Structure 1
Amino acid sequence: MTTCNGIFLKTEQKERLFEQAKQHIHSFQQRADTYDETGNFPFENFEDLRKQQWLSFTVPKEYGGEGATLSEFVLVQETIAQGDAATALCLGWHNGTLMQLRDTRKWRQETFADFCHQVSYKQILVNSAATEPNSGSPARGGKPQTTATYNNGKWYINGTKSFVSLAPALDYAIVTATIEETGEVGEFLLSLDQEGVYREETWNPMSMRATRSDHLILEGVTATDEAFVAKKGQQPNVPQGWLLHIPACYLGIAIAARNDAVQFAETYQPASLNTPIKDVEDVRRRIAEMDVELMKARHMMYHIAERWDEDEQIREQLAPELATVKTVATNAAVDVVDRAMRIVGAQGLLKSQPFQRYYRDVRAGLHNPPGDDLTYRQLAKRAFGEV
């Protein structure tokens, strides 16, 4: 069986990273059903990732990290997702957050350097906590109802955050809050061990169950001036290349489904046939169609990631392309998994088979940012010269 890798390993560095990430696929696959069934966070997987220093993958080299490029980042994300998608998506939020801070340089240099050293040498976990139950996704302009009030040299923060992936394992969260005195939105780096910060176990979805994207409750949390790390709107509106970790993750699911479907076709022989179903023309066509969808999406994703890496001057122009990659890749991934299910047939619905998990998990990508409607709106504006 030929898998869908190799063509994008253009450098020795990428070959090395791919081989290192590939080592996790089997063990993560072995645990994936258990984590999916229980809805528990994959602590064991993250312990493996810590040992291999993957939690500092996007930290700048001068601060002890790997300093990964965007194309290297998506390669690792796509590979790890072939083992366990929930683990990959969580790792992507962590490393993507650090990459975004690295690229935007919106924190004070001393603050960023100190935090990066903690990540590199202690392998701590961080994620953004921006979405809220009532205000919705920040990608759609939702303003935080979480508030921050300044009094006597301290910040007092109150509110509730939702969809906080990695919640049970997080060491820090970057919390957005509306500053009551000015109406501006600030970002605060909070330790999840400090008083007034609570994790509420609310996550019980059909997809990506092990991400544990629970609620974060903030009740009278006090923070120093050092915790106030940035203010929304102060930095240029640079496109968020790091969000390509999302389509990379869902393409990883699709590759796993494709590979398993090929293996199934090579070995499954019903009593009605003299050979395995790989010799049935309709099965061969469906496998070829899966490869076509994967080739289109992956070539686009890696091409845009490499353009981002090669020329910082054009990054501001890549927003439509980055959004389009997400739309193309996640829809292609859904299509590939659907085709894999048709090859396997009713056996794909059995809980003893991974296909039903692929089928559920891949659909979560349609609801990660940016939504397809926002992408099409952006492309239409560009087409009519309205941007």
Structure 2
Amino acid sequence: MNIAPDHAVLATSALARMARVADEVAAIHAADVDRSGRFPAETFAALKAERLLGVWIPSEYGGEGASLTEIADLCARLGQACGSSAMIYGMHQIKMSSLIRHSDASPWHRDYMRECARDQLLLGSATTEGGIGGDLRNSICAVEVEDGRFRLVKQATCISYGREADAILATCRRSPDAASSDQVMVVCRFGEYTLRQTVGWDTMGMRGTRSEGFELVAEGRAEQIFVQPFSEIAAQSMLAMAHIVWSATWYGIAADTVVKSQNFVRAEARKRPGVVPPGALRLAEVTTSLQKMKAMIVAGIARYEAALIDERLLESMAFIAEMNNLKVATSTLAVEICQQALMITGLAGYRNDGPFTIARNYRDLLSAAIMINNDRILGNTSNLLLMSRVDTTIGA
């Protein structure tokens, strides 16, 4: 499908377009997406129509060259309407960041980036695999290359929105005789792979992401294999981007609970003029927590942007530890914010219906700590801290 640029659409800011999608489409279908555990098809049709899937791609390749702050803001805005939609959008942008940052040495990937912008393609990810315990920096499967073609068979325990993706970026060993950590990433294009479901998706929250497990069998041109080893892709774009984009998504979901809490307190105040509602004090507390979460994300973005122009910082143990800490801190704080909001809204928030419900928000946010399990991240960070100094500066 060829989606020609709509210049009337592009004349409107990306955030304004996202607000339109969030309010007029995502919010309307969010409850059914969650209840049915289905992909938010209406939202992504609207995102494609608003040309928001390729907004990060540089303008010379047909995108709009959005900044990282803008991408985080888009994820947060969508998260206020539908957590599943925002998580899918964020994960797509994580894969897009790898394509944008690591296509310089590959004409094929540069051309594919143009195709993504032109056709507003949705990128999926296959980095997890049975038998490695969620460690994305090791693979069992290997890519085989012969006569300019590749073939790949992967037992992926989780491919979010795999059935709906226009392409899947998969990790694997460089060759059948390579070490498990000697990995590459491959663009598997729709029509060049098959998916056989091995694991279903009936979960507490984030139900619309449809993160099912599949056996992925893919073939294609050898040029579709990224030139850079996956270790570089993970360190220079994917891991930091994941922690920032996920955090922005959780922020959006948490922000929605705070807005609903504020509306609840205001409604209570109108019922009894001159009397301060019991939840007013807690509302002040929860807005402080939300501001703290925002500050963490803003600082994380600034730190990553500084690292992109300083390779020493990008590869430093201190930077990796900071990005790890961002994920752990925001995933924990988001749930705490939701708990605070529940104390304000009481039964009205606990209900699955009504204007003040935060039930879906709560269930979606409970996934945050186990998306790359916080215990695994803390274990990695503790090892880094044995070999590096704790940064005690403010301005550096």
Give the alignment's TM-score, normalised by structure 2: 0.83
Aligned twin of 1:357: 360
Partner secondary structure for residue 226 of structure 2: strand
1:308 to 304, 315, 339: 304
Instruction: Give 1:161's aligned residue.
Output: 156
Report the counterpart of residue 222 of structure 1 in structure 2: 219
Q: What is the distance in 2 between the residues matched to 1:373 and 1:222?
A: 33
How far does residue 245 in structure 1 lie from its aligned partner after superposition? 0.5
**Cα gap change, 1:21 to 1:148, in 2 (>3 Å):** same
1:116 counterpart residue number: 113
Choose from 58, 79, 82 the match for 1:84. Answer: 82
SS in 2 for 1:167: coil
Query: Cα deviation per residue 1:318-371 (whole Å; 9 max; x = unaligned)?
Result: 322222222221211101111111112123232214311011001111112362
The letter for the 2-side match of 1:305 is: I
**Ranges in structure 2 where 5+ consecutive residues have no aligned partner:** 1-11, 391-396
Counterpart of 2:328?
Answer: 327
Count of equivalent residues: 366
1:264 is aligned to 264
- Once the two structures are superposed, residues 159-208 of structure 1 have per-residue CA deviations (whole angstroms, 9 ceiling, x without a partner) of 22122112221011111122213333232211232254445671111110
Q: Secondary structure at the match of 1:135?
A: coil
Quote the offset at 1:92 in angstroms. 0.7
Q: What percent of counterpart residues are identical?
A: 20
What is the letter of the counterpart of residue 345 of structure 1? Answer: G
Change (3 A) 1:29 1:153: closer
Amino acid at match of 1:53: R
- 1:292 lines up with 2:291 in the alignment: no
Q: How does 1:95-244 map to 2 (within 5 A)?
A: 95-103=93-101, 105=102, 108-139=105-136, 141=137, 143-151=138-146, 153-178=148-173, 179-183=175-179, 184-194=182-192, 196-198=194-196, 202-219=200-217, 221-230=218-227, 231-233=229-231, 237-238=235-236, 240-243=239-242, 244=244
Distance 2:90 2:335 in 1: 20
3-state SS of the aligned residue for 1:182? coil
Distance in 1 separating the partners of 2:226 and 2:301: 28
Counterpart contact for 1:41–1:168, Cα < 8 Å: no
* Residue type at the aligned position of 1:291: T
Q: Which residue of the partner structure matches residue 272 of structure 2? A: 275
Secondary structure of 2:272's aligned partner: coil
CA deviation map 1:199-228 (0-9, x unaligned): 567111111000111223224x43331232
Partner in structure 1 of residue 343 of structure 2: 342
Aligned to 2:4: none
Residue number in structure 2 paired with 1:4: none
Matched ranges for 1:240-251 at <5 A: 240-243=239-242, 244-251=244-251
- The 8 Å contact of residues 186 and 225 in structure 2, kept in 1 or not, is answered as yes
Counterpart secondary structure, 2:345 = helix
Answer with 227-236 or 186-195: which moved more.
Answer: 227-236
- In structure 2, relative to structure 1, the CA distance for the partners of 1:377 and 1:35 (3 Å cut) is same
CA drift of 1:279 comes to 1.9
Change (3 A) 1:185 1:242: same
- In structure 2, the CA distance between the partners of 1:150 and 1:350, relative to structure 1 (3 Å rule), is same
Corresponding residue number in structure 1 for 2:394 = none
Greater mean alpha carbon deviation, residues 296-305 or residues 81-90: 296-305
Contact 2:109 2:224 in 1 (8 A): no
8 Å Cα contact 1:71-1:309 kept in structure 2 = no
- Superposed CA deviations along residues 111-135 of structure 1, whole A, max 9, x for unmatched, are 2211111111111111221112332
- Tell me what 1:19 maps to: 16
Instruction: Tell me how far 1:293 sits from its aligned partner.
Output: 0.8
Is this contact kept in 1: 2:193–2:216, CA < 8 A? no
Q: Structure 1 residues 278, 332: CA separation in 2 closer, same or farther (over 3 Å shift)? A: farther
- Give 3-state SS (helix, strand or coil) of 2:203's partner: coil
Asked if 1 retains the 8 angstrom alpha-carbon contact of 2:184 and 2:230, the reply is yes
Query: In 2, are the aligned partners of 1:24 and 1:83 still within 8 Å (CA)?
Result: no
- Mean CA deviation greater in 127-136 or 302-311: 302-311
Q: CA deviation at 1:250?
A: 0.5
**Conserved? CA contact 1:35–1:210, under 8 Å:** yes
Deviation by residue 1:224-279 (Cα, 9 ceiling, x = unmatched): 3123224334669436331200011011111001101111222247xxx9617982
Task: Provide the rounded CA distance (Å) in 2 between the counterparts of 1:19 and 1:218.
Answer: 37
* C-alpha distance in structure 1 between counterparts of 2:288 and 2:146, whole Å: 59
CA contact 1:266–1:278 (8 Å) conserved in 2: no
Alpha-carbon offset, residue 22 of structure 1: 2.2
Provide the TM-score with structure 1 as the length reference: 0.85
8 Å CA contact retained: 1:70, 1:241: no
Q: Return closer, same or farther for 1:310/1:16 CA change in 2, 3 Å cut-off.
A: farther
Q: How much does 1:102 deviate?
A: 2.1
CA offsets 1:292-339 (integer angstroms, 9 cap, x no match) = 111111112112213433562144453222222222212111011111
Structure 1 residue 63 displacement after superposition: 0.4
